[in-house]
Amino acid sequence: MNIHELIAELREPAVSKIVLLVADGLGGLPLEPGGKTELETARTPNLDRCAKDGVCGLSIPVLPGITPGSGPGHLGLFGYDPLQYRIGRGILEALGINFHVTSKDVAVRGNFCTLDANGKITDRRAGRPATDRCIAMVQKMRLIRIPGVEIFVEPVKEHRFVIVFRGEDLGDAVNDTDPQATGVPPLPASGHDAASKKTADFVNQFFVQASNVLKSDAPTNGVTLRGFARYPKIGTMQEVYGLKAAALAIYPMYKGLARLVGMDVLDAGSTLNDQVATLKKVWGQYDFFFMHYKYTDSTGEDGNFPAKVDMIEKLDAVIPNILELKPDVFIVTGDHSTPSKMQSHSFHPVPTLLRAEHCRTDAVTEFSESACLHGGLGQFQAMHLMLLAMAHAGRLGKYGA
């Protein structure tokens, strides 16, 4: 029996409220051996108090040693096995620009490239055009019409764009047309099954028309596509947990991930204070609140240790405003670690705290990597966090008699 079947069997209605605060890339590393991590360096009296009143542990996003992207990182926290539910690149790119993907869509990431007179690629990124040029080229491609399919072309940044093919029974088992090399033409698309052959046929027609509308626009006179992906079949939070869930995120990618699992994506403004204000406003209308905080990740990606410390302290400052609402279960965690030292996502387990009436408190009195290591939640798989949230919220009945 998988976990979602188990939850479907055990879940019970309750009036309790759960807040899941995700500080993106929260976990870190000391810059020097024996030093302190960003979280250990930050002054976080409010998080420390929650750690003391609650139970702590370290979340393993996927498996030991596996560094997740934002997609698997968040799916795990939402209780969806990130090894079972895979979100293809095309869909993630579409989510990242806030495109509303539907169950009829196949999305794919596109790159502008430069083609020579023989149609061979001379630059796989078309000389990294400015985003304005990307937008202009996308406008031209929006004129393309193919009978039997709806096509959406959306700019991303520089040479990157997204195409969404919307139609009946479109498969995504289609090869990348990007040959990952210069001196050769883009590859034709071919499908591995009937539904994907249908997609590939539309893709090849699109390619012919795109080559035509872009032909005098060198260096952005060609396109390659990769990461064909259907919208994944995934139960909503309402279906899986019986939770009416709201997302309070600012960045499109996280709104998209929340929408993927059926959360209501609210307009949460553009600052942490806006998010908290929105939380207060809609408090009565939902059971579950996902709050996303980006800057612990982006400062880590920048390799800016002091900035990450500062962003953690800014997050700490709003905790009392959340607690004022008296959530029955309050969780603070991250979707993965982003140590400034590595300037990238990493595989290290993520500090996590859970505060609820019936949590079995431990000796942890500060929220940090080293303290969480001795916490009562131990080291656990991120995808089990929602089981703990549901249990502490009084929303899971007994398994077996």
Q: Is 259 in the site for its own copies (CB under 8 A)?
A: no
Instruction: State the number of binding residues for its own copies (CB under 8 A).
Output: 67
E strand or H helix that includes residue 273:
helix 272-282
8 A C-beta contact, residue 10 and residue 398: yes
Q: Is 147 in the site for its own copies (CB under 8 A)?
A: no
Stretch that binds its own copies, among 79-87, 131-139, 266-274, 303-311 (CB under 8 A): 79-87
DSSP track, 142-194: TT--BTTBEEEEEEEETTEEEEEEE-TT----B--S--SSSSSPPPPP-BSSH
Contacts of its own copies in 286-345 (CB under 8 A): 339, 341-342, 344-345
Report d(CA 258, CA 87) in Å as an integer: 13
- Which tokens is 262 given? 């059926």
Q: How far is the CB of 197 from its own copies (least distance, A)?
A: 25
Query: Which of 142/374 has CB closer to its own copies?
Result: 374
Query: Which of 115/377 has CB closer to its own copies?
Result: 377
Q: Is 157 in the site for its own copies (CB under 8 A)?
A: no
Stretch that binds its own copies, among 137-145, 218-226, 282-290, 368-376 (CB under 8 A): 368-376
Among 39, 42, 48, 72, binds its own copies (CB under 8 A): 72
Q: Which of 162, 82, 160, 81 is nearest to 124 (CA)?
A: 160
Query: Which of 72/219 has CB closer to its own copies?
Result: 72
Contacts of its own copies in 42-61 (CB under 8 A): 53, 58
Q: Which of 313, 312, 387, 379 is nearest to 350 (CA)?
A: 379
Report d(CA 311, CA 328) in Å as an integer: 26
- C-alpha distances in angstroms, 123 versus 73, 86, 98, 176, 187? 33, 31, 29, 17, 15
Q: Is 373 in the site for its own copies (CB under 8 A)?
A: yes
DSSP annotation of 358: T
Counting Cβ atoms within 10 Å, is residue 13 exposed (0-12), middle (13-18) or buried (19+)?
exposed
Q: How far is the CB of 338 from its own copies (least distance, A)?
A: 11
Q: Is 31 in the site for its own copies (CB under 8 A)?
A: no
Query: Which of 176/201 has CB closer to its own copies?
Result: 176
Residue 288, SS3 per DSSP: strand
Q: Is 13 in the site for its own copies (CB under 8 A)?
A: no
Query: Which of 86/145 has CB closer to its own copies?
Result: 86
Among 46, 59, 70, 205, binds its own copies (CB under 8 A): 70
Q: Is 379 in the site for its own copies (CB under 8 A)?
A: yes
Q: How far is the CB of 56 from its own copies (least distance, A)?
A: 11
Report d(CA 11, CA 315) in Å as an integer: 32
- Which tokens is 209 given? 């028309």
Q: Is 1 in the site for its own copies (CB under 8 A)?
A: yes
Stretch that binds its own copies, among 116-124, 153-161, 162-170, 375-383 (CB under 8 A): 375-383
Q: Is 92 in the site for its own copies (CB under 8 A)?
A: yes
Residue 308, SS3 per DSSP: helix
Q: How far is the CB of 353 from its own copies (least distance, A)?
A: 14
Q: How far is the CB of 396 from its own copies (least distance, A)?
A: 6
- C-alpha distances in angstroms, 216 versus 92, 255, 279, 349, 390? 31, 37, 51, 51, 58
Query: Which of 125/197 has CB closer to its own copies?
Result: 125
Report d(CA 273, CA 278) in Å as an integer: 9
Q: Is 249 in the site for its own copies (CB under 8 A)?
A: no
Buried b (16+ CB within 10 A) or exposed e, 330-364: bbbbbbbbbbbbbeebbbbbbbbbbbbeebeebeb
Q: How far is the CB of 75 from its own copies (least distance, A)?
A: 8
The contact set with its own copies (CB under 8 A) reads 1, 3, 6, 10, 29-30, 33-34, 37, 53, 58, 62-73, 82-84, 86-87, 89, 92-93, 339, 341-342, 344-349, 358, 360-363, 369-370, 373-374, 376-380, 384, 387-392, 396-401
